[in-house]
Amino acid sequence: MNFIRTTFLMAAMTALVVGVGGLIAGEAGLMMALLVAGGMNLFAYWNSDKMVLRMHGAREVDMRTAPDLVRMVQRLAARAELPMPRVYIMDSRQPNAFATGRNPENAAVAATTGLLERLSPDEIEGVMAHELAHIKNRDTLIMTITATLAGAISMLANFALFFGGNRNNPLGLIGTILIMVLAPIAAMLVQMAISRTREYSADQLGAEISGKPLALANALRSIAGGSTIENRAAEANPASAHVFISNPLRRGGIDGLFSTHPPMAERIRRLEAMSGGGGYPGGRDPRSISRSEGLSGIPTAGGDLSGGRRTGPWG
């Protein structure tokens, strides 16, 4: 169902580009906008992983610097039948994570120190499985295509603003002005709808990869509880907010209407429905498990959240 919805939304975005292009820029303007937007996003497609990792100060870890986290990702990647991605840690008190990379062979997953400090091993596993699901679903490619189309629409609107647009369109001057204003907003809304759909799909597949939907649900609760903690790197680079498992930006007012992520309560409800509502895996609530259990070296629940760099298996 999520795949069908994504396909429908991308078809709607394509139709919007063609329709708006013909009305406000004509055939020549449409082709120019698509070429320029395509070139910009092709560059971003090949370099976005390096750019976003650098933006958030992520440092790569390995079996020497963070053995437990790397082993966890290695095990989950094998279960998902994916190549082993590169693993990164970001120094941020806010619990969050993201995946990036143009394809499964060139992918990376990153988690914040806040996520590693606050969550139990099962919950961390659920989050990492969610990020691997994004890689398996090739969501980076989907969002790159969507960004190309949205960028083309914005360029068409700017083209009409500076050069007058297609004067032979049937809507007249007022209609052209309205399209110039409304078309980019419509494109943004469709783009956000696609992003939200991909989050639901990653939740579902991530729960299947880890085999612990309730652990992922509890992880989302913990992440939501830490959402008020400022993520300075994300605030400085809001364009990268959509890659995170939860919106890293501080929200208020009507911001929720334009969120790239679906409501956390609905995501949790769907994950709980996957488990059949029948208790917790192994008969234990993951929230009741001591942070010192499971993988060795998990930071304790009362660990330092000052943002300082930790030592040990989590880096």
- At 306 the pLDDT is 33
Instruction: List the chain residues with pLDDT less than 50.
Output: 252-257, 278-312
- At 298 the pLDDT is 35
Among 275, 153, 128, 143, smallest CA distance to 198 is for 143
Which candidate in 117, 123, 125, 131 is catalytic?
131
pLDDT digits 0-9 by tens, 68-94: 999 999 999 999 999 999 999 999 999
- At 50 the pLDDT is 87
* 131 is a catalytic site residue: yes
In the chain, what are the domain boundaries? Answer: 2-249+256-288
Q: How many CA atoms lie less than 13 Å away from 119 in the CB half-sphere?
A: 33
pLDDT digits 0-9 by tens, 257-303: 456 688 999 999 999 999 875 444 433 343 443 333 334 443 333 33
Residue 163 burial class via C-beta count within 10 angstroms: exposed 0-12, middle 13-18, buried 19 and up: exposed
The per-residue b/e assignment along 257-289, b for 16 or more CB within 10 angstroms, e otherwise, is eebbbbebeebbebbbebbeeeebbeeeebeeb
